[in-house]
A and B are shown apart, each in its own frame.
Chain A
């Protein structure tokens, strides 16, 4: 009885991968545990292991094929005639099997979130007219930003869990160890509180550390050093002692990783005087603001997003692409309503704007980019033009960036408001694991569209 071997999902966010190499050929006898193929995800090269006995039948996907969707049948296995459920599993036992029922169990519930925005964003006025543009993933843009600053300034170094030999848990630091060596790309033990403190102390001692948290969820163990040591020292010392450090890593919900691994800390850090908080969306901002963050004399919390790492955007081909901290960016011009967002929410806001355009509503989309200091001028100017405002935030609603923007509009833009400001956030619950519940909990485009229609009195 023939068994279908399917492209396995090898990480929570993987939707497709490259079939790098077949290690078996048609007609080979295989046993459970034999390695059948090497598969490249956006994070790593993984081995694909057999769990059934049999003979390799037809190979359906050639090696070297890119963008093979998870669940695609890549080969057939002629079994021994047993009637067991056909299946195949990826090498690490902990990974989810790519068997039947995958559509229900494994489809990333935020497939909508991860879908690249169709809308063509407005050009960043910071980038000179006529600059050549390359297409680069956010992941590469972040790495290139770090690497360029490491070449420029000997004091800059990276430390964190798996940043060196493993090449980054999310591959953001890929290649840095090879270029800069172990003195400047330092693998740490899993001790966030300790290494955040060591990083802050090194910054006080004159270095320029980039401290990677595997995700910001783990930075809660280190939040004391981020706030009490890094953010307050300049003030407490009367300007004597600086702490120029970048704390960076993925932030916000990933996919199906449960409540403890899915949280947006933007509002937490943005509430702290003494910190700079940056949360870029696209590749150009990721690189330009990363470089600015590393050069900054103040401590910076740099919030990335795992689901955006693999997305490709235009990146200006400039020798030194540095963007200003504290400036929002108008991603799409519009006249009827303003949608304010940041990080992954920007993609959703741009999608919503396209849908709204089809219904005759012309939305302006603002990417805050920096959460602290907040560029209130850009928000208020847009509000003065559109008179209606919605905030889209992938995070909880209570005491959020959305709450802050709402207050700014109320306090400083009240006379321009034609409708109450509305916020579209995640549901006010810990993020659930079940695919359907997670989907219900997270912000999405239809909710933004609905809120915009409401403030436009279009429903």
Chain B
């Protein structure tokens, strides 16, 4: 793991740098530019104050993602899922912590190709997600998108994009639409530590801040851009600082603790909803599996993975909290059992559903007829 998912101390506030002499340069509109204010607010009380029912809900949602992804891995091994399949195991707290804080009536979400977890976090029927993975007519994209290309406009979930970084600019557009329509919504745009090095990300940072767009940029830093550790690919590995040049406040968040993620989300979303422009959140997390199903993950040791599983697992953490709050092992086992059976049902559905009709080959290329 390139960077431990733990709290770091806030860098000391520096005196404003001496202004460089420049020709015809306008002075900054506000000298009181506090890039750390959100981080400070988050760290003052980093854990979301959840009641037992909320914790139970987080537990169930994260467990659903984990069991679903484990099943998807199995189905891939059986040849029922083809192509690329990127699993979300280990990162569950990020999607659940953030998306639980959304206003689902108006807010939009967009992400890259590791998108199953974000779909499940919306409560979208696991059957249609699994059926998409197996390429069946009943899949949410009629079997034409696959693992990387799932969408639910009904839930304002805009995919599911396969080109690393593209979802960031598209997310900027969704945020522009929120602003244009004055609907009070924000866009949550997820991308990885790998995508964080793409040029268009910075083009979007610039325009988002320039136009004060309601967008939360979320870097899911799982330590590896495919097989390349962050320290081998990134000159600045503290990704929450990457917005500094655009005056976008950054937040450095433990992405392995759903209550910390949720707490950070509350702080960030409020900032954006108050009309103060974009926020950049770095969620420090870890993926237990390879980059995709075809990645043997030889670039890291078994011990490294095991260490995170043993000490930082987000599901085990919330489980422990629940037990401290009166839930029994048996209560939680029962939940696990119900989820396993729900996931097994989705796998059966995905396996037994028919493939798309051959005529579907030619549908949906264009909306209109010419």
User: How far, in Å, is B179 (CB) from chain A's closest CB?
Assistant: 9
User: How far, in Å, is B71 (CB) from chain A's closest CB?
Assistant: 22
Q: Is the CB of A235 within 8 A of B166?
A: no
Which residues of chain A come closer than 8 Å to B153, judged between CB atoms? 237, 240-241
When the two chains form the complex, which single residue of A189, A204, A239 contacts B363, counting CB atoms closer than 8 Å? A239
User: How far, in Å, is A20 (CB) from chain B's closest CB?
Assistant: 28
User: How far, in Å, is A372 (CB) from chain B's closest CB?
Assistant: 9
When the two chains form the complex, which single residue of A207, A224, A242, A326 contacts B176, counting CB atoms closer than 8 Å? A207
How many residues belonging to A are interface residues under a CB distance threshold of 8 Å? Answer: 48
Within 8 A of A (CB), among B140-176: 140-145, 149-153, 158-163, 166, 168-176
Within 8 A of B (CB), among A347-384: 370, 373
A312 within 8 A of B: no
Q: Is the CB of A207 within 8 A of B166?
A: no
Majority secondary structure, A binding face: mixed
> Which of A205, A242, A274 is the most central at the interface, judged by chain B CB atoms within 10 Å of its CB?
A205
Which residues of chain A come closer than 8 Å to B177, judged between CB atoms? 201-202, 205-207
Which residues of chain B come closer than 8 Å to A203, judged between CB atoms? 173
Q: Is the CB of B207 within 8 A of A229?
A: no
When C-beta atoms are compared, the residue in chain A nearest to B200 turns out to be A193
- Complex: A239 Cα to B151 Cα, angstroms: 10
When C-beta atoms are compared, the residue in chain B nearest to A190 turns out to be B203
- Complex: A234 Cα to B206 Cα, angstroms: 28
Which residues of chain B come closer than 8 Å to A201, judged between CB atoms? 110, 158, 169-177
Q: Is the CB of A324 within 8 A of B110?
A: no
Which residues of chain A come closer than 8 Å to B207, judged between CB atoms? 188-189, 191, 194-195, 198
Which residues of chain A come closer than 8 Å to B364, judged between CB atoms? 234-235, 237-239
Known contacts A189-B210, A234-B367; is-contact A207 B141 (Cβ 8 Å): no
When the two chains form the complex, which single residue of B139, B149, B367 contacts A242, counting CB atoms closer than 8 Å? B367
How many residues belonging to B are interface residues under a CB distance threshold of 8 Å? Answer: 49
When the two chains form the complex, which single residue of A202, A241, A370 contacts B159, counting CB atoms closer than 8 Å? A241
Which residues of chain A come closer than 8 Å to B181, judged between CB atoms? 206-207
Which residues of chain A come closer than 8 Å to B39, judged between CB atoms? none
Q: Is the CB of A194 within 8 A of B139?
A: no
When C-beta atoms are compared, the residue in chain A nearest to B179 turns out to be A183
When C-beta atoms are compared, the residue in chain A nearest to B208 turns out to be A198
A296 within 8 A of B: yes
A334 within 8 A of B: no
Which residues of chain B come closer than 8 Å to A196, judged between CB atoms? 169
A139 within 8 A of B: no
- Complex: A242 Cα to B365 Cα, angstroms: 10
Which residues of chain A come closer than 8 Å to B178, judged between CB atoms? 205
Which residues of chain B come closer than 8 Å to A202, judged between CB atoms? 173-174, 176-177, 180
- Complex: A273 Cα to B173 Cα, angstroms: 23
- Complex: A193 Cα to B367 Cα, angstroms: 25
Known contacts A157-B180, A235-B144; is-contact A194 B203 (Cβ 8 Å): yes
Q: Is the CB of A238 within 8 A of B172?
A: no
- Complex: A209 Cα to B151 Cα, angstroms: 21
- Complex: A169 Cα to B151 Cα, angstroms: 37
Q: Is the CB of A298 within 8 A of B366?
A: yes
- Complex: A325 Cα to B369 Cα, angstroms: 9
Which residues of chain A come closer than 8 Å to B210, judged between CB atoms? 189
Q: Is the CB of B200 within 8 A of A197?
A: yes
> Which of B108, B178, B363, B367 is the most central at the interface, judged by chain A CB atoms within 10 Å of its CB?
B367
- Complex: A294 Cα to B159 Cα, angstroms: 24
- Complex: A189 Cα to B205 Cα, angstroms: 12
User: How far, in Å, is A273 (CB) from chain B's closest CB?
Assistant: 5
- Complex: A381 Cα to B163 Cα, angstroms: 42
Q: Is the CB of A205 within 8 A of B108?
A: yes
User: How far, in Å, is A299 (CB) from chain B's closest CB?
Assistant: 9
- Complex: A214 Cα to B172 Cα, angstroms: 21
User: How far, in Å, is A368 (CB) from chain B's closest CB?
Assistant: 13
A329 within 8 A of B: no
When the two chains form the complex, which single residue of A188, A205, A240 contacts B141, counting CB atoms closer than 8 Å? A240
B204 within 8 A of A: yes
Which residues of chain A come closer than 8 Å to B203, judged between CB atoms? 189, 191, 193-195, 197
B79 within 8 A of A: no
When the two chains form the complex, which single residue of B159, B163, B176 contacts A198, counting CB atoms closer than 8 Å? B176
- Complex: A13 Cα to B149 Cα, angstroms: 45
When C-beta atoms are compared, the residue in chain A nearest to B189 turns out to be A201
A200 within 8 A of B: yes
Q: Is the CB of B176 within 8 A of A229?
A: no
- Complex: A203 Cα to B153 Cα, angstroms: 13
- Complex: A233 Cα to B167 Cα, angstroms: 12
B123 within 8 A of A: no
Within 8 A of A (CB), among B189-219: 199-200, 203-204, 206-207, 210-211
Known contacts A297-B368, A298-B367; is-contact A191 B206 (Cβ 8 Å): yes
Q: List 16 A-B contacts (CB under 8 A).
A: A191-B207, A193-B169, A195-B203, A196-B169, A197-B170, A197-B200, A198-B172, A200-B170, A201-B176, A205-B108, A205-B176, A224-B163, A228-B166, A239-B363, A240-B151, A297-B367
Interface residues of chain A, those whose CB is within 8 Å of chain B, are 157, 183, 186, 188-189, 191, 193-207, 209, 224-225, 228-229, 233-242, 244, 273-274, 276, 296-298, 324-326, 370, 373
The 6 lowest CB-CB distance pairs between A and B, nearest first, are A201-B173, A197-B169, A194-B203, A205-B177, A238-B142, A326-B370
14 further interface pairs, Cβ-Cβ under 8 Å (given A207-B176, A236-B149, A242-B367): A193-B203, A197-B169, A197-B170, A197-B203, A198-B169, A198-B170, A200-B169, A200-B170, A201-B176, A205-B176, A224-B166, A240-B151, A241-B151, A297-B367
